[in-house]
């Protein structure tokens, strides 16, 4: 049983790493390799260390926001524990399809301190804050950066439509508690063909947890505007340091950092990485970065840029996240 669980973790991790490495090798082959290696050896390591530090801020502020959102429910978790949750979940996201695979672990760890419905509300609030931030900021940066690619606008439009649909779903749940009963009854009608008793049990559980989730969401919305605004600020502090990593790498390579264009491209990439095709969006992220950055970064630099960026923002999530998960392995969070 234990070997099966290890296999279920190691296999997707290896797949993600292999796909990523193969994609980067292909990118190197398509660029001027000799010039590329020369650039690597001439890189300013001070900027590379700074890029790694900026990525560590991603983990830190994610933990800070998690702690702050939990406080909106009149609960409290230690910052160290919140950081463990954020880092451990980035490991899970790195080995599951899309980059948004860490939610189940965050919910599981949070539910030890607060009710499951409340934990779900906190994690959903995280993703909702991210989604609204991405949608608004992407449109803003597409306009001010002049990075007017048809692809970027299409990604932004599709993402915004999905976000509006999700917000409408949440509105219906919050507006009328009876909609949860309707959802539970609909679920029962679809499941009863597989067994009456099982269908009733699942439908009742969904109704119970949905009511807890709704109540937690309402409690969060009742907080003063300044506390909600603080959550938005922490969301920006999570993502902007992360989105500055490619520009800092370009500075290390003695290239134009192209801050506005790079940040705009990062917003597009993070939305694309939500597509659940490969572990940690390996292959998708690298290919997408080459496509977007080829519009303003010299071809000879692309391979190195992508390799270093992926090492800092993806491989470190696996290595550091694995260490944190090993620490948690014998706890009740990892069954």
Residue pair 133/235 in contact by the 8 Å Cβ criterion: yes
Tokens of 17: 């790493």
What sign has the CA pseudo-torsion 120, 126, 129, 135? negative
- In angstroms, what CA-CA distances link 312 with 183, 199, 252? 43, 46, 14
Strand partners, 69: none
Q: How far apart are CA 197 and CA 191, in angstroms?
A: 10
**Tell me: the pLDDT tens digits for 123-178?**
888 888 888 888 888 888 888 887 766 666 677 677 778 778 877 877 787 777 88
pTM of the model: 0.80
Is the pLDDT score of 36 beyond 60?
no
**Helix ranges, 72-149 (H):** 79-95, 103-110, 116-145
Instruction: Give the chain's mean pLDDT.
Output: 80
Residue 93: exposure state from Cβ atoms within 10 A (0-12, 13-18, ≥19)? buried
pLDDT of amino acid 192: 81
**Tell me: the pLDDT tens digits for 225-275?**
888 889 999 999 999 999 999 999 999 999 999 999 999 999 988 888 776
What sign has the CA pseudo-torsion 141, 143, 149, 151? positive
Residues 6+ apart with CB under 8 A from 81: 109, 113
Is the pLDDT score of 329 beyond 60?
yes
- In angstroms, what CA-CA distances link 34 with 39, 40, 170? 9, 10, 53
Tokens of 205: 């559980």
Q: How many residues does the chain have?
A: 335
The interaxial angle of helices 299-310 and 284-293, nearest 10 deg, is: 140
Q: How far apart are CA 235 and CA 231, in angstroms?
A: 6
Tokens of 233: 């600020």
Tokens of 286: 């690298």
Q: How far apart are CA 74 and CA 223, in angstroms?
A: 10
Is the pLDDT score of 183 beyond 70?
yes
């Amino acid at each position: 049983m234990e070997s099966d669980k290890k296999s279920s973790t190691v296999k997707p991790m290896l797949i993600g790493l292999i796909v990523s490495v193969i994609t980067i090798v292909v990118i190197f082959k398509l660029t001027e390799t000799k010039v590329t290696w020369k650039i690597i050896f001439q890189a300013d390591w001070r900027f590379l260390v700074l890029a790694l530090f900026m990525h560590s801020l991603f983990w830190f502020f994610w933990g800070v926001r998690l702690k702050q959102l939990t406080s909106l429910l009149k609960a409290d978790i230690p910052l160290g524990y919140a950081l463990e949750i954020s880092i451990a979940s980035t490991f899970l996201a790195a080995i599951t399809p899309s980059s948004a695979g860490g939610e189940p672990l965050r919910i599981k760890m949070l539910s030890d301190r607060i009710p499951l419905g409340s934990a779900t509300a906190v994690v959903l609030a995280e993703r909702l804050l991210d989604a609204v931030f991405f949608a608004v900021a992407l449109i803003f940066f597409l306009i001010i950066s002049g990075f007017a690619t048809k692809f970027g606008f299409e990604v932004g439009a599709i993402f915004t439509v999905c976000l509006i649909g999700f917000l409408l779903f949440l509105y219906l749940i919050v507006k009328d508690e009876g909609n949860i009963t309707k959802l539970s009854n609909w679920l029962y009608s679809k499941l009863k063909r597989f067994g009456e008793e099982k269908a009733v049990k699942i439908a009742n559980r969904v109704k119970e947890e949905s009511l807890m989730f709704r109540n937690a969401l309402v409690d969060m919305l009742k907080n003063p505007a300044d506390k909600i605004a603080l959550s938005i600020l922490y969301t920006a502090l999570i993502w902007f340091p992360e989105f500055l990593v490619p520009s800092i790498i370009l500075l290390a390579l003695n290239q134009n950092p192209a801050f506005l264009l790079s940040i705009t491209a990062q917003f597009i990439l993070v939305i694309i990485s939500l597509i659940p095709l490969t572990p940690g969006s390996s292959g998708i992220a690298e290919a997408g970065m080459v496509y977007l950055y080829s519009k303003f970064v010299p071809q000879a630099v692309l391979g190195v840029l992508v390799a270093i960026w992926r090492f800092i923002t993806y491989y470190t999530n696996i290595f550091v996240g694995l260490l944190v998960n090993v620490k948690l392995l014998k706890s009740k969070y990892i069954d």
